[in-house]
Amino acid sequence: MQFHQIGAALWEIPPEGGMRVPARIYATPKMLDAIRNDNASQQAANVAHLPGIVNYSLAMPDIHWGYGFPIGGVAAFDLKTGVISPGGVGYDINCGVRLMVSRLTRAEVTPRLRELVNQLFRDVPTGVGSAGALSVSEDELKRVVARGARWAVERGLGEESDLEYIEEHGCIAGAEPARVSARAWERGRGQLGTLGSGNHFLEVGYVSEVFDARAAQVLGLHPDQVTVIIHCGSRGFGYQVCEDYLSVMDRAVKKYGIELPDRQLACAPVDSEEGQAYWGAMQCAVNYAFANRQVIAHHTRRAFEHALGLDRHAIGLRTVYEVAHNIAKFEWHPVEGREVKLCIHRKGATRAFAPGRKEVPSAYQAIGQPVLIPGDMGRYSYVLTGTEQAMIQTFGSTCHGAGRALSRVKAKQMARGRNILQELEQRGILVRGQSRRTVDEEISEAYKDVSSVVDACALAGISNKVAQLRPLGCIKG
């Protein structure tokens, strides 16, 4: 496979075989060997075979092997000839990140950090089953997937102001509960307000460095300010929606005569019965995830109050922004000089809209959409903003995190004989997890250095660095 460098942090794989468009990969020269070895670049090239794909198959610097699409993959499809693919969204539909900031400083929180981390671990259920979740009836869950985060706010689980700063205001149109299976309803009933396991986490940190003072001021970020990052998705509900529709798409591929280089790219025309059915079910999972993070944010505020002995006003935890990582959406973008409505797949990628775009909250119009890039529990995360170049190059998209560098098996092998929790505590980071296995699988060495990923995006011009956040405490499943 040939890689042609066409920018400081941009490479192109020209079309060959059945590729309809080039594949473009954002990476520095130093990152390219690891990307080649992971073979995720082949997945990016495979996506370029799909009918109706527009301009390019894109991959962000945190690209790594995924199901069908690479994680870090972005692709846009024409609504008349294009397709929709569950592999282009992922199993954890609307996995995403919320950033909250407080009125507190690191010095004010550090003396009671252990109590805070323990309280969060008690109040926010973690792990595969997540006992202690907010359980609802199937009828109520149908209202959840129709209302998203607003459902939680209407029940006192959050603040009206939260909704202004969530992508799609925490509720996307087009959810169709009738498209969801009985098994998905069953799995979703008992998991609202839970983190789950794997790479999901809730992290208390602080603003360690500011790169763009103007943008940081607009976002209300300042050095040593205590922050919270919530990273999770649609739990078993979204997983089941994906699972259900992969078999539907397998049949659709045969029905519509779609030729694929990889069966994991199973898809259906956007306007087909199968495509519309998946769309309606997927939007239910998107709204489930918005509600899930809203409930967790509410429990987080309560944990701060209990652990620190302060009232809500003194703590001042507010939502800066919340982004979705695994999603397909209808958006308007320029194609060959005219605005066209497209179906944008972002799998392990973040929307990064430029200043002035109507979807950006009014308070952030001058700086662009906030972009939240979590790293790993031992290093740092970043706040970025979207740019005009992102609109031109990537359909308003950028990276979503560090990207795994080691499999979970290899990470556990590297952690063998070590006490990871003790190592982190010696560096001033308190971590609570449901099991040692989970913590070992999530060691820092398992991930790329997120700073290199963020720098590649900044070098390519598809996002702007605003601030770095460092962890103080973290809870994991």
Got the DSSP string for 381-396?
EEEEE--HHHHHHSSS
* Residue 33: both structure tokens together: 């060997």
How many other β-carbons are positioned within 10 Å of the β-carbon of residue 422?
A: 9
* pLDDT at residue 438 in the model: 81
- The Cα 449–Cα 45 span in angstroms is 25
Q: Across 90-148, where does the E strand assignment appear?
A: 96-105
Chain-centre distance for alpha carbon 317: 21
pLDDT tens for the chain, residues 1 to 477:
899 999 999 999 999 999 999 999 999 999 988 888 888 999 999 999 999 999 999 999 999 999 999 999 999 999 999 999 999 999 999 999 999 999 999 999 999 999 999 999 999 988 665 556 788 999 999 999 999 999 999 999 999 999 999 999 999 999 999 999 999 999 999 999 999 888 899 999 999 999 999 999 999 999 999 999 999 999 999 999 999 999 999 999 999 999 999 999 999 999 999 999 999 999 999 999 999 999 999 999 999 999 999 999 999 999 999 999 999 999 999 999 999 999 999 999 999 999 999 999 999 999 999 999 999 888 999 999 999 999 999 999 999 999 888 888 898 899 898 999 999 999 999 999 887 888 888 888 888 899 999 999 999 999 999 999 999 999 987
Structure tokens at 396: 């308003």
Two tokens, residue 334: 């320029």
**The residue to which tokens 């998991």 are assigned:** 191
pTM: 0.97
Q: Is 49:75 a contact under the CB 8 Å cutoff?
A: no
Please report, for the domain that includes residue 278, its CATH number.
3.90.1860.10
How many CB atoms are closer than 10 A to CB 17? Answer: 9
DSSP letter at 433 equals E
Q: What is the rounded distance in angstroms from the CA atom of residue 275 to the CA atom of residue 258?
A: 13
Helix, strand, coil shares, percent, the chain, to 5: 40, 25, 35
Give the number of other CB atoms < 10 A from CB of residue 208: 17
| Residue corresponding to tokens 């963020």 | 454
In whole angstroms, what separates CA 390 from the centre of its chain? 17
Spatial distance between the Cα atoms of 193 and 294, rounded to a whole number of angstroms: 8
Selected catalytic residue, list 49, 64, 345, 400: 400
Using CA atoms, how far apart are residues 177 and 106, in angstroms rounded to an integer? 44
202 neighbors 301 (Cβ within 8 angstroms): no
Q: How far is CA 118 from CA 37, 86, 105, 208, in A?
A: 40, 37, 19, 23
Q: What are the residue ranges of helices labelled H in 203-332? A: 213-219, 235-255, 273-308, 312-315
Instruction: State the pLDDT at residue 128.
Output: 64
* Number of folded domains that form the chain: 1
**Rounded-to-integer distance, Cα 87 and Cα 138, Å:** 27
Quote the CA–CA distance of 342 and 269 in Å, as a whole number: 13
- Expressed in angstroms, the distance from the first to the final Cα of the chain is 39
CB 266, CB 253: distance < 8 Å: yes
Q: Is 102 exposed, middle or buried (0-12, 13-18, 19+ CB in 10 A)?
A: buried
Residues in the chain: 477
Amino acid at site 354: A
Q: Is 400 a catalytic residue?
A: yes
Centroid of chain to Cα 339: 26
| Rounded-to-integer distance, Cα 87 and Cα 28, Å | 26
Residues 6+ positions from 144 with CB-CB distance below 8 Å: 136, 151, 192, 287, 288, 291
Alpha helices in 56-104 (DSSP H): none
Q: What is the pLDDT of residue 130?
A: 52
Determine the structural domain holding residue 394 and report its residue range.
Answer: 4-476
CA distance 354 to 369: 6
The DSSP bridge partners found for residue 55 are none
